[in-house]
Structure 1
Amino acid sequence: MQTLVKYLCYLSGLLFSLLIAGSSNHLSSIGFWHVLNTKADPLQSYWQFPRYFSNNIAHLPRLTLGFLARENIPSAQYNYSLKLIKTNKNEQAKLFWLQSITYITHAQRQDLANLLLARARWDDLLLLKQQELLPKGDAYNHLALHTSNHYKRIPNAFLNDLGFTALNTLPASNSSCIYNVVMIGVHREGLYKLQSFTKQFNKVPEPQKGVFCFSKPVYAAGALECKNTLSMANCKWKNKALRGKVAKQFDYSVIMSKNGTANVMGKQMQLSTSANYHVFLHELMHFSGFEDEYTLPQSKQKWLCLKQGYVAPNLYISQGEPPPTGWHQSESCQQGGVAYKPSKDWSIMQYQQLGLSKRYRALWQKQIQQQETLTLD
């Protein structure tokens, strides 16, 4: 009998608790409805039902959310900051997410980081990282690429998902092309730029299909020392063994740094993210021996302009003899001999933005054939 009484008492208490909880949730939803649809005081309603409001606060109108955010309600500050970021009011948003950042969940910090990444708010992401509040994940890894962290510290799986690879996992060369070119970047923007160059090239391979194959972008920050300069882009290998490994596996290399003008020295091209595709194509033609048709540097003129005859597929230097038929004077040499070029008009080798003409594509194809013949011989 006593056991039955105890059981009935327990059951009555449980039903009463459920009734009270149900009533509380009902009252909470009514209070929230009044804030949404009447002029009920949002701050007073929030403090009456803080848990319910925090769970549903993102559904509040922007003005109400902003009011609660200014009243230092962390959940309101966080959600209001997201709305501000989405309308490009990033600095205003920062005032609110900074105040709420230590109160929000790990998942919410991840969502905030992804939103900041989508807006390229690198300084904000860096601030979160410095405060040890940036969760590990895509935004964390993208920031590492942007700030040129050492290539060994970047997860290979993350790089592979982006279509990149790291220097310690060099891609294999492609036997279907005459020349293999490794594309090397030392920061995030450079990797994406190299990727875009390759995609554009592969749509219309120059000077024809099967000549050049480009590797996926290789991340090599930490292995190269790049000067921050407005003059020629200049990155140097820190390790001769790594440089030798790359040179052995690939015919040419392209290195993209943050600063500097495009240039080619031997089998290595260097350029920065400011370069566009036509600049890249101009420099690629240097790999095949083409010469600039604008005024050459004085140091180069001193020896090149003393030569006679064809010094490049697109440059003939006369020391008094007639130039080839149909060729026209070039600005390349201002001392020594007189330089001539195949085209009367400007070409890609004089003004890069013009793009590649049919005449110069044919010259390039002829040069590739001659180089291949020499290699076979």
Structure 2
Amino acid sequence: MQTLQIHYADGNYQFAKLIREKSQLPDSAYEDIGSLRYLSAQNDLKAMGLLANKYEKRQRYLLAEKLYFKILNQAQTIADIKLARQSILVLYEKQHKWSKIKGFLDPQDSPEWHYLSQLHNSLPLSVVPLGEHYEDINHNILKMGIDFDINEKQLNITACKINIVPIASSYTGLMQAISVVKDFNTHVYLSSLPVCFSKPLYIEKSKLKCFTAINKTISCDLTHLATSKDWPKGIRHLMIIADKGKANVNQGVMYLAQNSDFTVFQHEFMHFFGFEDEYKLSQFKQKKRCKLTALNLQRSQLTLMQKGEVNLQGFNSVPSCSGTNVNAYKTVSELTLMQYLDKTFPVSYQKKLNLNIKHHLGDFPVFTMAFSKYAQTHYWYQYAANLGFKGALLQLALIYEAKGEIPLAINHLKKANDWPLAQSHLARIFYEKSEFKKARAYYLDASNSASDSFAQYFYGKMLLNGIGGKADKKVAMRYLKLSAAQNNPLAVQYLNNKELL
């Protein structure tokens, strides 16, 4: 008797049907795709499964999906139903269709599928499969509590000088965070720094809403994170992995996209510690940063000079401030990672970074400064102040001053008394307390350390009138003119009035 396969191939469909109905089909009947199609049309579950598998291998996923659902609808045994559901889930997984998996799952499916669906769809983790369940699926499963944490209380923060907490809202984001940390810890130079990473923290998107678009700077609503007081002590920075968007650093928080590679991380990491971009800045950034008195550039790798001044020997221009009245220069001739991501760290930049971390860490924002605008402002200022951030000490001083607690305000400002803004505020407070000698000294410090135009004006007036020490009209006029040169309104008005007299 000829086989079903031969009869079918010869077009003898009725005879083939008779063989199928009357006989036990041999394995050879399931080898030819034509036979499989015929048998599938006759609702042969085995043939449908084999044909769906062939379609799947050829990436004809819609045809495979239809057959798997047909099997599921016709399956009679628990084993067949389970196999059909597993096949559909695996098919969706291959296509990364986790939203479809979420809609398809029901309680009879194994726990790991629910767990993975929740992770991939950024949902609360209500199911945590036991160890043996992970063997049911061919997936590199990240294990909660081992590979990542879900609550800030669980974070294990070390005595490291700089602790960074990665945060992600999806399985892909967690994998990206783990990859970045691995690359950091194996990097020849970066791994030598006193920097430690905690396990990634998983926060579902309902609690961490990020505003993302391919060509837009990433930002996130940190309200949920800021309302918690469970954050361990000693964290300096967060690294948030968003779906997409332009990476950036803002107030001690780094924002990366899921497709940001390690070179992007390296570039943004340098921003944590004062390094500036060496490509042309946006107009908004130029207004803040392309000033000779800009505090943010004091610890950067760049030097600013007024246009028209003679170029410094050994310095090389960069386009950071192009279009403004100042030029920006770097001390190296080669291209660097602050301009092109595929470039490396010059040795001088490594030395600069080491110096900033060792001696000037208090100049750079702690992540809680980003939290402070959402909730618990005083609490987060204090957290940052405990880590030595001078900006937080200044903010606390202003709060205490507003409450009339002047000694506390002075105490906080003195902890940052090498910082020009703190010096200016100390000078003002001592002036108001009629402690003119101290006020004059602090105005002098602020005038010289940061060319603070208001400090220059008030120091000049104190010199002019002999307040807090001897009068010196010649030096006084020099400081008043320096202040006016920065368009300080008080100095400009004073000098204009003096000329009229």
TM-score of the aligned structures, taking structure 1 as reference length: 0.76
Alpha carbons 1:315, 1:342 under 8 Å: kept: yes
> Does residue 1:315 correspond to 2:315, yes or no?
no
SS of the residue aligned with 1:160? Answer: coil
SS of the residue aligned with 2:342? Answer: helix
Using a 3 Å threshold, how does the CA distance of structure 1 residues 238 and 366 change in structure 2: closer, same or farther?
closer
Q: 2:115 aligns with which of 130, 141, 158?
A: 141
CA distance in 1, matches of 2:236, 2:16: 68
Give 2:126's aligned residue: 153
Alpha carbons 1:57, 1:76 under 8 Å: kept: no
Runs of 5+ unmatched residues, structure 1: 1-30
> Does residue 1:198 correspond to 2:181, yes or no?
yes
Give 2:31's aligned residue: 61
Give 1:171's aligned residue: 155
> Does residue 1:274 correspond to 2:245, yes or no?
no
Runs of 5+ unmatched residues, structure 2: 9-14, 131-140, 364-386, 389-414, 416-501
Task: Provide the alpha-carbon RMSD of the alignment.
Answer: 3.4
Alpha carbons 2:112, 2:128 under 8 Å: kept: no
Give 1:332's aligned residue: 320
Post-superposition CA distance 1:191-231 (Å, at most 9, x none): 11111111111111543424221222221013211124331
Post-superposition CA distance 1:301-357 (Å, at most 9, x none): 223222249533311112376666522112111324221112223211112232434
Give 1:297's aligned residue: 282
SS of the residue aligned with 1:200? Answer: helix
Give 2:463's aligned residue: none
Using a 3 Å threshold, how does the CA distance of structure 1 residues 165 and 366 change in structure 2: closer, same or farther?
same
**Larger RCO (CA within 8 A; separation ≥ 6):** 1
The within-5 A match list for 1:87-102 is: 87-102=58-73
Alpha carbons 2:149, 2:199 under 8 Å: kept: yes
236-245 or 327-336: which moved more?
236-245
CA distance in 2, matches of 1:246, 1:256: 19
Using a 3 Å threshold, how does the CA distance of structure 1 residues 373 and 173 change in structure 2: closer, same or farther?
same
> Does residue 1:256 correspond to 2:232, yes or no?
no
Post-superposition CA distance 1:76-121 (Å, at most 9, x none): 3233223322332212211211222232322442244235324424
The within-5 A match list for 1:22-33 is: none
The within-5 A match list for 1:100-111 is: 100-102=71-73, 103=75, 104-111=80-87
- Percent of residue pairs identical: 23
Post-superposition CA distance 1:23-75 (Å, at most 9, x none): xxxxxxxx9x9557x658665444446xx76xx97993151333322333344
Q: CA deviation at 1:184?
A: 0.5
Aligned length: 337
CA distance in 2, matches of 1:156, 1:216: 20
Q: CA deviation at 1:142?
A: 2.0
CA distance in 2, matches of 1:313, 1:196: 28
Give 1:4's aligned residue: none
Alpha carbons 1:109, 1:133 under 8 Å: kept: no
Give 1:13's aligned residue: none
> Does residue 1:369 correspond to 2:358, yes or no?
yes
Using a 3 Å threshold, how does the CA distance of structure 1 residues 351 and 42 change in structure 2: closer, same or farther?
farther
Alpha carbons 1:134, 1:140 under 8 Å: kept: no
The within-5 A match list for 1:332-371 is: 332-333=320-321, 334-371=323-360
Give 1:114's aligned residue: 90
CA distance in 2, matches of 1:239, 1:139: 28
Alpha carbons 1:82, 1:112 under 8 Å: kept: no
CA distance in 2, matches of 1:43, 1:213: 69
Post-superposition CA distance 1:209-262 (Å, at most 9, x none): 242212222210132111243311111123255555447452110111112110
> Does residue 1:125 correspond to 2:112, yes or no?
no
CA distance in 1, matches of 2:178, 2:224: 25
Q: CA deviation at 1:137?
A: 3.0
Alpha carbons 2:61, 2:91 under 8 Å: kept: no
Alpha carbons 1:183, 1:254 under 8 Å: kept: yes
TM-score of the aligned structures, taking structure 2 as reference length: 0.59
Alpha carbons 2:316, 2:329 under 8 Å: kept: yes
Give 1:22's aligned residue: none
